[in-house]
Amino acid sequence: MVDQSGVHEKTFSPSPDERTDALEQLIIFFESFPDRQQALEDMLRLCSDEDITLRVKAISALGTVFPELSDEEKEKGWNSLLELIRTEDPEVWKAVVMSLVFAFGYVPEKSKAWNCLLRMAEDESRDVREHAVEALILLFPSMPDREKVWADFIALAGSGYVEIRELASDAFILIYPYLEDREQVWISLLGPAGSGDRHVRDRAGDIMARVFHQLSDQKKAMQDVESLTMGQIDYIARRAVKLLRDDYPELSEAGNPAEELYKLAAKKAPYARWKASGTAEKGPEVSSKKRKEEAEK
């Protein structure tokens, strides 16, 4: 039997080789060490070792010993993995996410662990946000409450961070097949489908197109689509008015800015002016020079 105190001392050695040897001993004899709490602490310390190679090995090892931990130890190990999400090193992150996926199956309170990652999806650090959502995408098949998973990703698609909106909406295609209630899927997608974010709208539209034929009331669904289409037209008009109001104050003063915008577009568009003047009726006889003169008026 290996002396645990000797292994413990090696974890503090200035030599990476000795610390690596200590880790290997921890992996082999973890279950039989008399002081499991100390063994776990030593492994967790090595998960933040200055030597990246050793750090990756320790993080991977943490995942392998997870089934042997008590519920209290599992919570501690899980929280340590969440802290490691903050890494910017791609190799370390790869080890972290693999351990997270493996460990999640043994976490006693999955909803609590899931919600921790959800909170991290709004972290001030972009790396942390992205890593948290990437972990959620990998973990969702192990979540028993699929409706909650779907609702959480719908909410993430409305995040204030563009990269989170894109990651979450891209995941729609992976999650929706796990849901049985297609009517509810359709209803929940109406919000994202009317989003001001084109990427989110497109991803929501992709799923809506897939489930449309499975809906019982397709007439109502068509009305939803028409409302969304008109809503997008209004949104585009409002954006245009906002951008152009400094140059064209009449837009801000108009009772119906959208209608005024259409009039302005017809007035300013060269082709529209040319066509409105009646020159279009002359067909091919109208020269390009003539059209240019009309447009410059």
User: Per residue in 115-146, pLDDT tens?
Assistant: 999 999 999 999 999 999 999 999 999 999 99
C-alpha–C-alpha distance, residues 88 and 283, integer Å = 64
| Band (189; pLDDT cuts 50, 70, 90) | very high
Is pLDDT at 21 greater than 50 in this prediction? yes
Q: How many helices (H) and strands (E) does the chain have?
A: 18, 0
Please report, for the chain, the start and end positions of each structural domain, with discontinuous segments joined by +: 1-108
User: Per residue in 202-227, pLDDT tens?
Assistant: 999 999 989 988 888 888 888 888 77
Contact call for residues 22 and 7 (beta carbons, < 8 A):
yes
Q: Considering just the CA atoms, what is the radius of gyration of the chain in Å?
A: 30
Q: What percent of the chain has pLDDT above 70? A: 77
Q: What is the pLDDT of residue 265?
A: 62
| Band (11; pLDDT cuts 50, 70, 90) | very high
DSSP 66: G
User: Per residue in 54-82, pLDDT tens?
Assistant: 999 999 999 888 988 999 999 999 999 99
Q: How far is CA 121 from the centre of its chain?
A: 8
Q: What is the pLDDT of residue 239?
A: 58
Is pLDDT at 279 greater than 50 in this prediction? no
> Thinking of the domain 1-108, which architecture would CATH place it in?
Alpha Horseshoe (1.25)
What is the rounded average pLDDT of the residues 277-288?
Answer: 47
Separation of first and last alpha carbons in the chain = 96
Q: What is the pLDDT of residue 283?
A: 47
Cα–Cα nearest to 131, from 82, 190, 91, 194: 82
Q: Which of 25-34, 195-204, 251-260 is the least confident region?
A: 251-260
More confident residue, 86 or 172: 172
Q: How far is CA 185 from the centre of its chain?
A: 18
Mean pLDDT taken over the chain: 84
| Band (6; pLDDT cuts 50, 70, 90) | very high
Q: What is the DSSP string of 84-135?
A: HTT---HHHHHHHHHHHHHHHTT-S-HHHHHHHHHHHTT-SSHHHHHHHHHH
What is the rounded average pLDDT of the residues 20-37?
Answer: 92
Buried b (16+ CB within 10 A) or exposed e, 89-111: eeebbebbbebbebbbebbeebe
Highest mean pLDDT among 19-33, 209-223, 266-280: 19-33
Cα distances (Å, whole numbers) of residue 118 to 10, 139, 154, 210:
37, 12, 12, 27
| Band (264; pLDDT cuts 50, 70, 90) | low
User: Per residue in 234-262, pLDDT tens?
Assistant: 555 555 556 666 666 766 666 666 666 66
Cα–Cα nearest to 258, from 247, 272, 245, 274: 245
Cα–Cα nearest to 106, from 60, 59, 66: 66
| Band (228; pLDDT cuts 50, 70, 90) | confident
Altogether, the residues listed in the chain come to a count of 297
User: Per residue in 97-120, pLDDT tens?
Assistant: 999 999 998 988 899 999 999 999
Is pLDDT at 48 greater than 50 in this prediction? yes
